Chains A and B, each alone.
Chain A
């Protein structure tokens, strides 16, 4: 049966039998790097196309339909256009920081891939504080955004970066609280243990009300954290031209654009791991036959299916809700989501101590 784990084990065995352990490790690092970069490229192409097609469908349009069959090569053409453009650096900009910022944002997004389990036993680094690692690395991206906004030496960029920073720092709290709710229920910080604790049912089903509430808070908070509409004040085009990346062009702009979509993928992957069981197949109680059929679907398909479902939900938000004002946005976080999240955490603690989940 198709399984990413067996392929990885085969490659590992072959490398170790052919080369010395140190060389094999070096080759594995190179392979992982190449795989991560190609995953990013493919995800960027697929997600941008998906966004355009979903938005077209919701607005009863056709969407891109000229390049390739049904417009499927449109994003490839767009990328080629961006690559061939000149990457300008404004004269008044802080040159080093201006050129550094896109890379910080991309590196933060890349480092987030490490603890994510893409399939059964297919994980780069099973660190014992996986969830905290994700929170800490994702807080790096905001520094990149702030640097981009400040070093552009442009008032729109600075304002966009400020808004983005305020938004990310405040919504990180809610996202963190809802993640902690699941950590409480699962009793572990490690990603693989959280997934294994969902073998008999995903947390969103067996965690009762606390898990449901924290799922809703998580989705809202990560939509805000990735600067997506209805929380895309940081790049509100009618007010700030393009926010913190106003001055960027060519490939440097493309890196920001790519990082935005990669971040959407990663937060949705984390959401599916925490609440929807990651690569765990869907099981219903003791329906042995049904469960057996579900087990036949490869675990990587389960993971990507759940992740893309969550991505679809977030895209759905974008084309459904109007943009919030900055005061409404901060009110929503500090006066509603954060108190609800804290009370919910207490509820979850009661459920976890009482053992009331299934």
Chain B
């Protein structure tokens, strides 16, 4: 039963992930990405991490993807207006994604023992995650919050109106 659900969810997430890249319309890509995030939230639920699943949906599907949709709908991208890409851009994109793939494979390679381990019953509870975040990983957590804060300040600074020169 659990295995069937797992395979179904995995097939759905792989399919939607592929469709993100393959769809012709930008808005469809974003919607497939939203769907992909929901299936990943389903994986979290199957690992008994309800808190992570809920936060994942709130942050990614609910907030970030809505902003994506916003920007793409505003730009109103369609097939005719697709930007012409020079070969250099294409080549560098391929190299960059290849490097990214290398990093991902390297990180997944070390995770073999994780897949065999049974999910603990209480790993996803808010209390345990809070304890880990504010105890074991306190420094990285605070650093990430500083990073986000500086990004926010930068965005506000860029979005600020230039003070108008006073003319008489």
**A residues with CB within 8 A of B:** 94, 97, 127-129, 132-133, 135-137, 139-140, 142-143, 146-147, 149-150, 158, 161-162, 165-166, 169, 172, 189
* Closest chain A residue, CB of each to CB of B56: A136
Residues of B within 8 A of A189 (CB): 126
Indicate which residue in A150, A169, A172 contacts B73 across the interface (CB closer than 8 Å).
Answer: A150
Question: Measured between C-beta atoms, what is the minimum distance from A60 to chain B in Å?
Answer: 42
Residues of A within 8 A of B152 (CB): none
Residues of A within 8 A of B57 (CB): 136-137, 139-140
Contacting A at CB under 8 A, from B28-72, are: 31, 34, 50-51, 53-55, 57-58, 61-63, 65-67, 69-70
Do A132 and B66 touch across chains, with their CB atoms under 8 A apart? no
Q: When A127-B50, A189-B126 are in contact, do A165 and B66 touch as well, CB less than 8 Å?
A: yes
Which of B53, B54, B67, B125: most chain A CB closer than 10 A? Answer: B54
The answer for the CA separation of A311 and B69 in the assembled complex, in Å, is 31
Do A97 and B31 touch across chains, with their CB atoms under 8 A apart? yes
Q: When A140-B61, A169-B63 are in contact, do A150 and B27 touch as well, CB less than 8 Å?
A: yes
Do B34 and A139 touch across chains, with their CB atoms under 8 A apart? no
Q: When A136-B58, A140-B62, A169-B63 are in contact, do A146 and B50 touch as well, CB less than 8 Å?
A: no
The answer for the CA separation of A268 and B25 in the assembled complex, in Å, is 38
Q: When A146-B73, A162-B70 are in contact, do A136 and B63 touch as well, CB less than 8 Å?
A: no
* Closest chain B residue, CB of each to CB of A176: B58
* Closest chain A residue, CB of each to CB of B65: A143
The answer for the CA separation of A179 and B36 in the assembled complex, in Å, is 28
Residue pairs across A and B with Cβ atoms less than 8 A apart, 28 shown, are A94-B25, A97-B31, A128-B50, A129-B51, A129-B126, A132-B51, A132-B54, A132-B58, A133-B54, A135-B58, A136-B53, A136-B55, A137-B57, A139-B58, A139-B62, A140-B57, A142-B62, A143-B65, A143-B69, A150-B27, A150-B69, A158-B73, A161-B73, A162-B70, A165-B66, A165-B69, A165-B70, A169-B67
Do B54 and A129 touch across chains, with their CB atoms under 8 A apart? yes
User: Is B102 positioned at the interface, with any CB of A under 8 Å from its CB?
Assistant: no
The answer for the CA separation of A166 and B58 in the assembled complex, in Å, is 15
Q: When A127-B50, A132-B55, A139-B58 are in contact, do A147 and B31 touch as well, CB less than 8 Å?
A: yes
Which of the four size classes fits the interface of chain B?
20 to 34
Do B66 and A129 touch across chains, with their CB atoms under 8 A apart? no
The answer for the CA separation of A166 and B70 in the assembled complex, in Å, is 9
**B residues with CB within 8 A of A:** 25, 27, 31, 34, 50-51, 53-55, 57-58, 61-63, 65-67, 69-70, 73-74, 125-126
Residues of B within 8 A of A97 (CB): 27, 31
* Closest chain A residue, CB of each to CB of B126: A189
Which of B25, B62, B69: most chain A CB closer than 10 A? Answer: B62
Do B74 and A162 touch across chains, with their CB atoms under 8 A apart? yes
Those 3 A-B pairs whose CB atoms lie nearest each other, nearest first = A139-B62, A136-B57, A132-B54
Do A143 and B126 touch across chains, with their CB atoms under 8 A apart? no
Question: Measured between C-beta atoms, what is the minimum distance from B21 to chain A in Å?
Answer: 19
Question: Measured between C-beta atoms, what is the minimum distance from B2 to chain A in Å?
Answer: 16
The answer for the CA separation of A54 and B153 in the assembled complex, in Å, is 46
* Closest chain B residue, CB of each to CB of A133: B54
The answer for the CA separation of A189 and B66 in the assembled complex, in Å, is 25
Residues of A within 8 A of B34 (CB): 143
Residues of B within 8 A of A132 (CB): 51, 54-55, 58
* Closest chain A residue, CB of each to CB of B55: A132
Question: Measured between C-beta atoms, what is the minimum distance from A155 to chain B in Å?
Answer: 10
* Closest chain B residue, CB of each to CB of A138: B62
* Closest chain B residue, CB of each to CB of A168: B66
Question: Measured between C-beta atoms, what is the minimum distance from A355 to chain B in Å?
Answer: 19
Residues of B within 8 A of A127 (CB): 50
Indicate which residue in B27, B50, B54, B125 contacts A135 across the interface (CB closer than 8 Å).
Answer: B54
Residues of B within 8 A of A129 (CB): 50-51, 54, 126
The answer for the CA separation of A46 and B116 in the assembled complex, in Å, is 53
Question: Measured between C-beta atoms, what is the minimum distance from B73 to chain A in Å?
Answer: 5
The answer for the CA separation of A128 and B69 in the assembled complex, in Å, is 31
Question: Measured between C-beta atoms, what is the minimum distance from A328 to chain B in Å?
Answer: 18
Do B54 and A136 touch across chains, with their CB atoms under 8 A apart? yes
Question: Measured between C-beta atoms, what is the minimum distance from B79 to chain A in Å?
Answer: 13
The answer for the CA separation of A172 and B58 in the assembled complex, in Å, is 10
With A142-B66, A149-B73 known, 19 other A-B pairs at CB within 8 A are A97-B31, A128-B50, A132-B54, A133-B50, A136-B53, A136-B55, A136-B61, A139-B58, A140-B61, A143-B69, A146-B73, A150-B27, A150-B69, A150-B73, A161-B73, A162-B73, A162-B74, A172-B62, A172-B63
Do B54 and A139 touch across chains, with their CB atoms under 8 A apart? no
* Closest chain B residue, CB of each to CB of A150: B73
